[in-house]
Structure 1
Amino acid sequence: MIIHRYPISISIMIKLLLVLVLFSTVSVRADASSQDAIADDEFVSRAIQLQKEKVKINPYSHDIVSPFNVGNSQKSSIDHVNLWVYFTDKKKTTANSTTTINLNQQSLSRRSSRSEHAVGALKNIYQNSNSKSSADYVIDSFDVPINQIYIDRVVAVDSSLISVRHRSNWLNAVSITVRLDNNLSTLDEKEAELSKLVKRIKTLPNVLKVIEVSQIKSTSSEQKPLTASKSLINEDLVNLVNGVDYAQSFKQLSQINIIDAHTNGYTGKGVTILILDTGFYKDHESLKNCKIVGEHNFIDNTSETQGPLGDPQNSHGTYILSNLAAYQPGKMIGAAYNANYLLAKTEIVSKEIPVEEDYFISALEWGESQGVDVVTASLGYNEWYKYWDLTGDSAISKAVDIATGKGVVVY
């Protein structure tokens, strides 16, 4: 995971995120007429485009490099390959006639309120539009699960080698792992076998495209365990505002006017924030009052995002969470300490690999279904994307666009 460390990065992040939190708070409180007033052409255009595209999305304009297009020294470590398999549609069949869409009430309410001003434009692409209300547009085909028969066909190509990692209803695609046969003695044999499997998958009914995801670009990213330098902490510092001692937090928060926001009642209450990061040490004393409403470890597919004390995976995620959610008067106050938090462990500290995008997309869909208002992810995938690749056509960009179209603010 690439983590940006600049002297003003945390302050800028907090300031921008607070603006998003304030926006979300106002949006939650606003009535339909005020939402109509904040409508803008860009939002409406995006919503219309997303509805028109429906599930027939081609998330890539180009193939990502094959995992075998690398030096010989790197080839020797390849024992599996991750692929995105995209499908053409979500047609129901007799064996796939029952679908369950898992959205909580908060997600439905957010969608309904924040897409209200786009409903008039969306009606133009539906028949019998006059009979539809805003509620008819809250759930769309992006939410419909992938046809399980399509997935089963992919796995059946060779169930001993193929397994499903993640599925994205939004992209109508699955991320699969193809394990390379250990009985194959040479890399050329492995590459030939993989090509055969990919060809068979591509020829399956209802398969739109197969993307081979590079697995070889990685970098070390040192993360030190959570420690505090005594030289940076002044235990005697007191900064009282309305009876609350902001202590060490006062200077950084006052620089970006968060103290004033708190004074005016904007502390994040009623807003749900999703953090996508490395992991979170929730037992830290400053986070004992943090309102965590859900969490998931997408790396290990468990419900626990905290590692053991001293685990480097905890570090960066805890930094971000504490800047937002900490509430320990006399030591530290976060920018949005009254918000609700969803925690997603999606980033691997020790290396940078494209499969982290799978985790990101899965976490984004999960958070949206849980009613998130704001998403923050302080990371960048610049190991395998170049400037000329930043066209908005990648799977992760498509997922962010869809989330935005559903009323989520993604930062």
Structure 2
Amino acid sequence: MKKSLILTFFILTAIFAQDKIWIFFTDKCLPPDKSLVDSIARMTLSERAIRRREKLNIPFDEYDVPVCKAYIDSIKRLGYNIVNVSRWLNAVSVIPPQRQSISLSSLSFVRKTQPVARFRQRITPIKTMERVSRIRYWGQSMLQAMMVGADIMHQRGYRGRGVLIGMLDSGYKIDVPPFDSLVASGRLVAKYDFVHHDTSVGYDSINGDWDPMGFVHGTMTLSCIAADIPDQIMGIAPEASIALAKTEIVDSVIEPGGVVDYERRIEEDNWVAGIEWLDSIGVDIVTSSLGYTYFTTDGWGYSFSDLDGNTAVTTIAADLAAKKGIAVFNSAGNQRMDYSWGHIVTPADGDSVCAVGAVNGFYELAPFSSPGPTADGRIKPDLSALGDNAVVWQPFTNSVGFSDGTSFSCPIVAATAALVLQALRDKGFTTHGWELIELMKSTADMADSPNNDYGWGVPKAPVAAGILDAIYILVVDSISGQPLTNAVVIVNDDTLFTDGRGRATKYISEEGIYNIKASCNGFLSKTITINHRRGRIHRIAVKLT
């Protein structure tokens, strides 16, 4: 048995080490009048996906029609091994035969070919849990919840119920305590492994998995959304329904001196297949904690000029998902200090994708969080959340831990969107995915001055959902214009302190007069008075001299 497993390991490693290529087709074998598009599309989508399209008045189109079977069969007969099929790209990813009897360019139905991009990224080390204060119910995860207003949303009964979130990651360990309620309630609606092509998204050596570390990263990102152990760790949307796609491989790497390290091997065709599958089952939100930058020498490379929102394969697929009504969130990346790159990653460059950056507990920019802009000059990231010392579930120790990365700020923001979406639906609103993202951006705490570090700032769920209004306060030095951190801000009888950006947020619900007094050591205090009316957001800059 042991020899059999070892042999399987080497065979599968050899298969997945082969270079894959994309083959893009010219058409989908439809009649000229496209009369069959609607009926064919309905056969390929779930009832939930169809309902989402109908509610949002999104028509079915050729992107919903499967790739022409005759073309796929022709490619197979030439000896190509089909790996993934993309109806959105009208393409297949394949492993070519060792000897090609005919050139693909000579086939009339082949539009173009290109290599499948691969990217290797080291796994972020998991930190040991330090002693931090706990608050009942939220446990260790209180800070990341309060920063986005999830604590208020939960108090009002909004915990993500009825919202389906799809995840793209490297694997997931489901049989751990924080996900007991997710599984028991039947809210884990679907799962699929696009690396090994089975429904086991954890480590399953019997079915040929060779990446025993694969489930660690995905388990941690999932815990940011769905963890449910009161007084220890709570996800932002613990009552949301979840669909899991495993799209990444985790390989072992032998460092000098024999030290074993691990890295994620990301292949873009798996990601594309995953997001199309999530669309077909009807997800409302997609969160992806991966990204593509430069690639291995045996793959297809992108340069910064390709981050224009229209070039990278994953970006094209992400934008198409957004057109289908899905709110797509992707990590901005951890490449700020990577001097060979230093930008956001794809598909975060998509104009319909919400790229998520990372801050620490003082709202200061995380040193690794990738900056914008895109190649065509658009501001990125779009939003930010806690990603420096984010609280996660660590599957190896089966306990709460810390980790760093936009990999964790992204699911926090996506789960925040689920709370907002639930609240909007309860009010009778029908909201397109991109409208949801725009709403969160316009009500975030830096929407008055977005930039290529924080984007539009940290989202505030109660404000985006219309449950509470807000006064956003910025305290600055009147001479230098620099923000003043740890300044005291008194709003009527409540005392606040500015964060690492010189900002403070006061949620309000009552109409009337609000006096805002700001003071800081070495400066004269200043008071500003506003007259609040329901439904307004106040953005106030207090300049101290």
- What interval of TM-score do these two structures reach, taking the shorter chain for normalisation? 0.5 to 0.7
Point out the structure with max Rg over C-alpha. 2
Match of 1:73 in 2: none
4+ residue runs of structure 1 moved beyond 6 angstroms?
A: none
- SS of match in other structure, 1:302: coil
Q: How does 1:159-174 map to 2 (within 5 A)?
A: 159=79, 162-174=80-92
Match of 1:332 in 2: 233
**Conserved in 1, the CA contact under 8 Å of 2:121 and 2:265?**
no
Match of 2:307 in 1: 390
- The verdict on how the C-alpha distance between 1:332 and 1:403 changes in structure 2, with shifts beyond 3 A counting, is same
Q: How does 1:290-329 map to 2 (within 5 A)?
A: 290=182, 291-307=187-203, 311-329=212-230
**Conserved in 2, the CA contact under 8 Å of 1:272 and 1:339?**
yes
Match of 2:276 in 1: 365
Deviations 1:24-82 (A, max 9, x none): xxxxxxxxxxxxxxxxxxxxxxxxxxxxxxxxxxxxxxxxxxxxxxxxxxxxx997331
Match of 2:135 in 1: 239
Match of 1:276 in 2: 168
Aligned-partner Cα distance in 2 for 1:165–1:308: 20
**Conserved in 1, the CA contact under 8 Å of 2:168 and 2:271?**
yes
**Conserved in 2, the CA contact under 8 Å of 1:221 and 1:349?**
no
Aligned-partner Cα distance in 2 for 1:78–1:341: 28
**Conserved in 1, the CA contact under 8 Å of 2:19 and 2:116?**
yes
Match of 1:56 in 2: none
Aligned-partner Cα distance in 2 for 1:205–1:153: 12
Unaligned runs of 5+ in 2: 1-14, 206-210, 252-262, 296-301, 330-545
Q: 2:59 aligns with which of 135, 138, 142?
A: 138
Match of 1:86 in 2: 24
- The verdict on how the C-alpha distance between 1:228 and 1:329 changes in structure 2, with shifts beyond 3 A counting, is farther
Aligned-partner Cα distance in 1 for 2:224–2:110: 44
**Conserved in 1, the CA contact under 8 Å of 2:116 and 2:269?**
no
Aligned-partner Cα distance in 1 for 2:127–2:304: 37
Q: How does 1:30-41 map to 2 (within 5 A)?
A: none
Unaligned runs of 5+ in 1: 1-76, 117-136, 181-192
Higher relative contact order (CA 8 A, sep 6+): 1
Deviations 1:233-289 (A, max 9, x none): 56xx6523xxxx222122221122110111122211110001100111111111111
**Conserved in 2, the CA contact under 8 Å of 1:280 and 1:317?**
yes
How far off its partner does 1:108 sit? 1.0
What letter corresponds to residue 232 of structure 1 in structure 2?
E
Q: 1:374 aligns with which of 271, 276, 285?
A: 285
How far off its partner does 1:210 sit? 1.3
| 1:212 maps onto 2:115 in alignment | yes
What letter corresponds to residue 203 of structure 2 in structure 1?
G
**Conserved in 2, the CA contact under 8 Å of 1:297 and 1:345?**
yes
Tell me how large the CA RMSD over aligned residues is: 2.9
| 1:105 maps onto 2:6 in alignment | no
Match of 1:18 in 2: none
TM normalised by structure 1 equals 0.63
**Conserved in 1, the CA contact under 8 Å of 2:24 and 2:112?**
yes
Identity among equivalent pairs (%)? 30
Aligned-partner Cα distance in 1 for 2:19–2:152: 51
- SS of match in other structure, 2:166: strand
Q: 1:221 aligns with which of 122, 126, 132?
A: 122
**Conserved in 2, the CA contact under 8 Å of 1:233 and 1:248?**
no
How far off its partner does 1:222 sit? 3.8
**Conserved in 1, the CA contact under 8 Å of 2:250 and 2:265?**
no
Give the paired residue count. Answer: 282
**Conserved in 2, the CA contact under 8 Å of 1:295 and 1:344?**
yes
Aligned-partner Cα distance in 2 for 1:178–1:172: 18
Aligned-partner Cα distance in 1 for 2:120–2:271: 19
**Conserved in 1, the CA contact under 8 Å of 2:271 and 2:314?**
yes
- The verdict on how the C-alpha distance between 1:307 and 1:233 changes in structure 2, with shifts beyond 3 A counting, is farther
Aligned-partner Cα distance in 1 for 2:293–2:46: 34
How far off its partner does 1:207 sit? 1.2
How far off its partner does 1:221 sit? 2.1
Q: 2:154 aligns with which of 257, 262, 267?
A: 262
Match of 1:201 in 2: 104
Match of 2:180 in 1: 288
What letter corresponds to residue 398 of structure 1 in structure 2?
I
How far off its partner does 1:228 sit? 7.9
TM normalised by structure 2 equals 0.48
How far off its partner does 1:138 sit? 3.4
**Conserved in 1, the CA contact under 8 Å of 2:134 and 2:231?**
yes
Aligned-partner Cα distance in 2 for 1:275–1:323: 12
Deviations 1:157-198 (A, max 9, x none): 2x2xx1111111111111111142xxxxxxxxxxxx56x74x
- SS of match in other structure, 1:266: coil
Aligned-partner Cα distance in 2 for 1:250–1:409: 25
- The verdict on how the C-alpha distance between 1:308 and 1:284 changes in structure 2, with shifts beyond 3 A counting, is farther
**Conserved in 1, the CA contact under 8 Å of 2:67 and 2:87?**
yes
- SS of match in other structure, 1:349: strand
Match of 2:396 in 1: none
Aligned-partner Cα distance in 2 for 1:353–1:85: 21
Deviations 1:4-23 (A, max 9, x none): xxxxxxxxxxxxxxxxxxxx
Deviations 1:79-107 (A, max 9, x none): 733111111111248xxx99573211211
- SS of match in other structure, 2:19: strand
Match of 2:362 in 1: none
